[in-house]
Chain A
Amino acid sequence: MALEKEPQSPQILSLSDEDLMARVAEDDERAFSELVGRFKGRVTNLISRVLNDRESSDDLAQEVFVRVFVHRRNYRTGSKFSTWVFTIAANLAKNEIRRRVRRRNWFSLDALTEVFSDSIIQLADPTEGSEQVLEREQLQGAVGEAIATVPEKYRLALVLRDIEGLSYEEIAEVLGVPGGTVRSRINRARSMLKRKLQPLLRKQEAT
């Protein structure tokens, strides 16, 4: 079993995602470990942004990779690994949103602010003044909240496109909808977001 502490062999590092997955299907756990390393950031970020919840995104991202491993023999050779892993992540995120809606257990505003300030402080540029940092934090917090208020089906498409940078075709495959539907969902999500953020962005521009 290859764990993170062990350095991966150069041969493994040079393999494509799809070749690694083919090895995972043959129970190669070194290849699995390498795949997790390559995709953990993107998967965690996708889930965090869709749920607007940093804390539980790690656990859900872990569940995504466990499912990749458990269903390793169902992976279709020739299909793009990133599309497959994002499909699993998107489905888990959707399920989580629905579960939370059912339980009426959305994060409170205080918790959201805490989550965002935690992550932003870690990534803040040390050369920035405290006022600038605060403004940036507020803006990013507001953007995160605004994304969270976009309806689920538009939100997923928006995050996949404008945060994760997937192509329209990939998003269509991940969400299992036609390309035209993806375009219209993204357009609607962007318009909603623009309306919500317009007052704040105008204020920022003025200062």
Chain B
Amino acid sequence: MRSCHTAEGLFGAYWDDEATAAEREWLESHFKGCQHCHAEYEQFALTLGAVSELPRFETRPDFTQRVVEAARAAAPVADTIRPALVRQVQWAPLAAVAALVLVAAISAYTVFGTRPASDPIAQNEPRMTASVTAQAQPTAATMTAGDAVADPRITGQVAVVTDSLFDHSADVEFMLEPVQLRRGRAHTGSRLPDGVQGDQVVITF
């Protein structure tokens, strides 16, 4: 019975002429000794013969003309990359930089807290001076007088240097760099100067 099961499994390959020479020989010898399998294969072949002999349908005479006219009327589809997507990609770096600026601004607000609008710097002076002095003291001994004069931290003065965007007085610096797009993410890269610690900001959009 097992060989009958094997034989039945080979009907398809035998019909398609894809059976190996050994399989073909084995099946043909099996047919000689097994009337049941032989009759089953006859039915199998008759079935597929009937399928392959089904009449082929013809298209209407004006088929091609109708297709060409319909194709002409259809809206063309351009390349796989849609123009809308291309526009999105071109705007993405700008959007990423804008988002970085926004995140930096929010972080700065969170770190420094709210200040009175009248004198934003003055209230922080004592805390910042202590902090900066403590940081500067170990290196002061190794510096020259010129260096000391040039570096306001060494003098014990309040080192407040402001620029148009941020207050750098607490050794916090926001570095805005051009970003690279990789699969829909903006990476700032890790190019911080030696000795400076910072978190990398990754914005997904």
Interface residues of A (CB under 8 A from B): 1-5, 29, 32-33, 36-37, 40-41, 44-45, 48-49, 54, 57-58, 61-62, 65-66, 69-71, 73-74, 119-120, 122-123, 139-140, 143-144, 147, 158, 162-163, 183, 186-187, 190, 193-194, 197-198, 201-202, 205
Q: Is B199 an interface residue (CB 8 A)?
A: no
- Majority secondary structure, A binding face: helix
Tell me whether A74 and B67 are in contact in the complex, defined as CB-CB below 8 angstroms, given that A163-B52, A201-B47 are known contacts: no
- Residue from the list B50, B51, B53, B79 in contact with A73, Cβ < 8 A: B79
* A69 with B57, Cβ < 8 A, contacts A74-B80, A187-B12, A205-B46 known: no
**A3–B68 CB distance below 8 A:** yes
Task: Scan residues 29-53 of chain B and give those whose CB is less than 8 A from a CB of chain A.
Answer: 43-44, 46-48, 50-53
Asked whether A123 lies within 8 Å of B77 as measured between CB atoms, the reply is no
Q: Nearest residue in A to B18 (C-beta to C-beta)?
A: A168
Any A CB within 8 A of the CB of B59: yes
Instruction: Say whether B65 contacts A119, CB under 8 Å.
Output: no
Complex partner residue of B75 from A37, A70, A140, CB under 8 angstroms: A70
Chief secondary structure at chain B's binding surface: helix
Give the residues in chain B near A186, CB-CB below 8 Å: 12
- B interface residues with partner A (beta carbon < 8 Å): 11-12, 43-44, 46-48, 50-60, 62-68, 70-72, 74-80
What residues on A are CB-neighbors of B75 within 8 Å? 70
Q: How far is B95's CA from A120's CA once the two chains are assembled, in angstroms? A: 65
Q: Which residues of A contact B74 (CB under 8 A)?
A: 66, 69-70
A59: min CB distance to chain B, Å: 10
Chain A residue with Cβ nearest B52: A162
Chain A residues, Cβ within 8 Å of B71: 29, 32, 65-66, 69-70
Task: Give 13 A-B pairs besides A2-B68, A41-B57, A73-B80 with Cβ atoms closer than 8 angstroms.
Answer: A1-B68, A3-B64, A36-B63, A41-B56, A57-B57, A62-B63, A69-B74, A70-B71, A70-B77, A73-B78, A73-B79, A197-B47, A198-B47
B27, chain A: closest CB distance, angstroms: 15
Highest count of chain A CB atoms <10 Å: which of B56, B74, B75, B76? B56
CA distance A29 to B74 in the complex (A): 14
Most chain B CB atoms below 10 A, which of A5, A69, A140? A69
Q: Pull 19 A–B residue pairs with CB atoms less than 8 Å apart, ordered by A.
A: A1-B72, A3-B68, A4-B64, A29-B68, A36-B67, A41-B56, A41-B57, A44-B57, A54-B57, A57-B57, A65-B67, A69-B74, A119-B55, A140-B54, A162-B48, A190-B48, A194-B43, A194-B44, A201-B46
Is the CB–CB distance between A163 and B51 below 8 Å?
Answer: yes
6 nearest CB pairs, A to B: A69-B71, A4-B64, A123-B55, A65-B67, A194-B47, A201-B46
Given contacts A1-B68, A74-B79, A74-B80, whether A193 and B51 have CB atoms under 8 Å apart is yes
Set of chain B residues within 8 Å of A163, measured between Cβ atoms? 51-52, 54
Q: Which residues of A contact B76 (CB under 8 A)?
A: 70
